[in-house]
Amino acid sequence: MVKGKTVNYLIAKIAVVLSLLIFFSATTRAFSSGKSEFPVKGFHIDLRCQIMTMPALKSFAKELSEFGINTIIMEWEATFPFKNHATLSNKYAYSEEEVDSFINYCSTIGIDVIPLQNCFGHAEYILSHDRYAHIKEDKKEVSQVCPMKEEECIEIFSEIFKEVASKHPSKYFHIGGDETYLLGSCKLCAQKAAEVGKSKLFVDYVKAMCKIVSDLGKQPILWADVILKYPEAVSELPKNAIFVDWNYGWKNDHFGDIEKLYRAGVTFWGSPSIRSHPDNLYLTQWNKHFRNQEIFIPYCREKNYEGIVMTSWSNGGTYGFLYDTNWEVIQMYPIRYVYPLSGFRIIVACYGEALKTEGAVNSQQFVIKYAVERFGLTENEGRALWEILTAPQEVIVRGEDLNKKGVSEILADTRKIQSKLYSLKPKTNLKEFDHFKLMFDIRVQYLMFKEVENEYESDKFSREAAPQFIKRLEPLVKEAKSINKRFISLNKGFLYHQELVEINGLRTEKLFKIYQTLQNLTKK
């Protein structure tokens, strides 16, 4: 009898052990197959231009939290209220109280706010000032710091990092480090690159910036593109550095052999995008961005990335400049603006769904469901909305797109889509839906102008033809003024009024310039 009990006890014990083994095995498989949830579910807010008002920032953060986002990476740039480096703050800079209020508010809704402070590439707003001109890589190009001016840079960025970090309780600090296109350009950098390679040139400087971050008690984050291209010295970077693999729809080895960094054991976060090249005020490649979520987020799960950060760029990150003598920068102009973030709630919501979905989110099904629940549309109308949003949109260059399709044909197709959009009758959240209408109205007007411009820039145009061209442009000028008013009205309170006026001015500048030139040509 005792023996029987002992046997039963042993059998029970073995069963428990086997159950635990099966559990841990399943858990391990789930983790290795990417089924685990990302600890960091982030969103990047770009304030280089299109400066959101503080109420809009808080409202947007609240929506992000409702979508399951627990992290915001804030690229404050010149909107930060610098003290010792107050030269850097622009006319839209927030007050200290506003920044404190935003970060404190985010903490109450479960969002960690991580600052992003560029210190290498994309330093235009710093290097355009005379105060920092001595650390430029190139006297004419103000996008990049010279890594051979390490001593001066450590002095400057130690102060800047300290100011920024003091406002952010987060344990993380993002130092940027992407798109250092001028790496190795100046004589000193070229000499070092020739001796030890561009990877060492890049890593030595980034290592110094990471030390500043570590000395502040923070963990450094940087974009991964440059180290992927030049990985030879990656082992010299801090072991706790986090590399953000940004992929907006290209192959995984787009920047370099990423497997090398996997083997090096570095920590990765992934980063898709909902607004990126070639998006501008006249087009949004919705299909590209939805597909980016469907493909890249599951890939990040498979590779056990520890976080995802959705980027949303307000401009292209490159600028044109108005210079004075000695290459003094008077004004910077973004190469392209993108339609404001106010018009992209649907794809932000899809991102939230993608983070919760095991495997790949089905963007089409999500949009249909969103259309029904958010706008009160039917399922058929939801399918129509999906087709409308994901219709091809490309930049027009010299009268045709990249596929050699003529502007007149593109215009005809876009007008059909515009008509289809206007046939949909949403019952709720009409303001949000109006952003779609305005986007397509802007695109149609843009294409109509491009049609005229293509002839204006050809041998079809002569001085005698000016009256005819004026007649064709007059309704476009009238429509532009109407769109300007709608743009300001629809984005009131989201962006600052003066910036809305500036964006309208940049969007219509070429149209008005040609129109005024034509009028002048008709004068006797």
User: For the segment 42-52, what is each residue's pLDDT rounded down to a tens digit?
Assistant: 999 999 999 99
Beta-bridge partners for 239: none
- Would you say 97 and 54 are in contact if contact means Cβ atoms under 8 Å apart? no
Helix H, strand E, coil C: the string for 188-211 is HHHHHHHHHCHHHHHHHHHHHHHH
More confident residue, 403 or 290: 290
Give the span between the Cα atoms of 435 and 82, in whole angstroms. Answer: 34
Task: Provide the pLDDT confidence category of residue 173 given band limits of 50, 70 and 90.
Answer: very high
pLDDT category at 183 given cuts 50, 70, 90 is: very high
Range with the poorest average pLDDT among 20-29, 39-48, 317-326, 384-393: 20-29
DSSP of 72-134: EEEE-GGGS--STTGGG--TTPPPHHHHHHHHHHHHHTT-EEEEB--SSSS-HHHHTSGGGGG
| Per-residue pLDDT band at 524 (split at 50, 70, 90) | low
Q: Which contiguous run of DSSP H or E holds residue 212?
A: helix 198-215
Measured distance CA(284)–CA(95) in Å, rounded: 33
The Cα angle at residue 243 between residues 193 and 166, in degrees rounded to 5: 100
pLDDT greater than 90 at residue 257: yes
**What is the percent of the chain where pLDDT is above 70?**
93
Q: Which tens digits make up the pLDDT trace of 342-365?
A: 999 999 999 999 999 989 999 999
Rg of the chain (C-alpha set): 26
Q: Using alpha carbons, list the distances in angstroms from residue 328 to 91, 185, 319.
A: 20, 20, 15
**Phi-psi category of 493—alpha, beta or left, where left has phi over 0 and alpha has psi -120 to 50?**
left
Q: CA-to-CA distance for 512 and 473, rounded, in angstroms?
A: 9
Domains, the chain: 33-117+147-356 (3.20.20.80)
| Spatial distance between the Cα atoms of 498 and 131, rounded to a whole number of angstroms | 27
pLDDT score for 11: 43
Q: Cα–Cα distance between 24 and 273 in angstroms, integer? A: 35
The single residue listed with the structure tokens 């204006």 is 456
**How far apart, in whole angstroms, are the C-alpha atoms of residue 127 and residue 130?**
7
The pair of three-digit structure tokens given for residue 378, joined into one six-digit string: 């039917």
Contact call for residues 264 and 234 (beta carbons, < 8 A)? yes
pLDDT on residue 36: 57
**Does the pLDDT at position 2 exceed 90?**
no
Q: Tens digit of pLDDT for each residue in 203-238?
A: 999 999 999 999 999 999 999 999 999 999 999 999
**Going by C-beta distance under 8 Å and a sequence separation of 6 or more, which residues neighbour residue 316?**
277, 334, 335, 336
Residue 136 · residue 94 · CB < 8 Å:
no
